[in-house]
Amino acid sequence: MQFNTYVYMLLFLPVTILGYFVINKFSYFFAKIYLAAISIFFYAYAGLPGFQWLVISIVFNYLIVMLMKRMHSKLILWMGIVFNIVLLFYFKYTNFAILTVNDLLHKNIPLTKMVLPIGISFFTFQQIAYIVDSYRGKLEEHSFLDYINYVAFFPKILMGPLVSPSALIAQFHDESKRNFSSQNMVDGIQMFIIGLFKKVILADTFAKAVAWAWSVGDFKQITSMDVFLVMLAYTFQIYFDFSGYSDMAIASAKMLNIELPINFDSPYKAYSIRDFWKRWHISLTKFLTEYIYFPLGGSKKGEVRTYLNTMIVFLISGIWHGANWTFILWGILHGVFSIFDRLVEKFRKNIHPVLQWLATFFTINVLWLLFRANSIGEWKHALSQMLRFQSTAISDGLLNVFVVPETKIITKVFRLYFFEGNIRGFWMLIFYLIGFILCLGFENAYRRKYKQNIVTAFFYAILFVFTLTCIGSESVFVYFNF
């Protein structure tokens, strides 16, 4: 089940909220059972074939934690970590390894047929965090029910945000969170609508522009300006898609009085790659820092070790994102640019902030193009076509993807016939302007102060109805398969 579906917004979420607070009036224990059951149903709704692996993973990891509580052994800790890593690698990288061996050794080893458990990258990292924190003595002994709710809590299980075990489980036991909160409900509804708008209106429209370029089949068949605009479209698509999901996840939890951590903090305002990673997918950055970078020594063992540790973290980040050499190179290049930022940090202060931002934003765009490419060769061809800049023409096919049904409604309501008829690519221009304005000119949805008044309620009601009517076929989130 995905957040941008009618069944989630109009049935699942309202029933979940109502049932949770009603049951809480009588028994908090049964409310936790209800929350666990509804979370398991939410996950299983997406498909049962990979569901058993979530169950196996939860049971095995909880047994590891219980064993570790009785026998504080590093061997048991590593048994748990290795199990999680092997499970993750088996499902995500077995066929990638087979394809690599076939290419290098000219073999014809058949690929394995398997169903990738949805959200395996996220629930695996969450459980590694739990067993490591248990070993470090940061966690009390929790019931199996608490553990299920920590791992399977429906707003975060598919695509995060990753959350500290102690921070989440403590909220399940906080008596002050068991009663309905009108403020949290209003905040949650407004934040959810913002996330839905990002996904349905912006991300899905930019996704059509990206899909158009790949449908052509060869970047040589489109102009240099086309490639540049498509690269920028994917930069907006992945941000509005994933930040929109995170907004909806955090908002869904907030309606239940549960606080999930911020995952995005205006990342395209960054002035360096290091600054970008403090703002983009914050929960993943914190996980990699706390559970990999610091245990490796962080920046306390000299410059060489600092750079090595940085490269290891970004290599793992690339591998975690997907089974393709494009993701691995993407991670490596982010590591290289992060090290470069450290090296030139003193000199960068003398460079005008606008130039710093432009250099950072362009670098991010180029690396997102690699992230989207099907192969490194395809990325190189796209870059070559763009950097030659032989033509500034924009193809009609690219312009047309931005003329969607909702734009026709807006044209009629606001009488925009003159602009639409006299400005070629008017709606493409509008979408790109909205993208830049929202990314650079507004506070992140997580940090916004939401108001309770008639005008605000009316605005969000109109926005929700408009966005709801614009939902076509179900569109999958970019990170859904990670």
Half-sphere exposure of 250 (CA within 13 A, CB side): 26
Give Cβ neighbours of residue 419 (< 8 Å, ≥ 6 apart): 426
Task: Classify residue 216 as exposed, middle or buried by CB count within 10 Å of its CB (0-12, 13-18, 19+).
Answer: middle
Task: Classify residue 125 as exposed, middle or buried by CB count within 10 Å of its CB (0-12, 13-18, 19+).
Answer: buried
Q: Which DSSP string do the residues of 149-200 spell out, in sequence order?
A: HHHH-TTTTTT-----HHHHHHHHT-GGGSS--HHHHHHHHHHHHHHHHIII
Contact 241, 248 (CB under 8 A): no
The angle, 0 to 180 degrees and rounded to 10, between the axes of the packed helices 74-105 and 51-70 is: 140
Task: Classify residue 17 as exposed, middle or buried by CB count within 10 Å of its CB (0-12, 13-18, 19+).
Answer: middle
Catalytic residue at 321?
A: yes
Q: What is the separation of C-alpha 355 from the centre of its chain, rounded to a whole number of angstroms?
A: 28
Task: Write down the catalytic residue from 72, 142, 173, 321.
Answer: 321
Closest CA to 335 of 356, 320, 313: 313
| Cis geometry, peptide bond prior to residue 161 (ω within 30 degrees of 0) | yes
d(C-alpha 109, C-alpha 344), whole Å: 47
Q: What is the separation of C-alpha 114 from the centre of its chain, rounded to a whole number of angstroms?
A: 24
Q: Which two tokens stand for residue 31?
A: 């409310």
Q: Which residues are catalytic?
A: 321
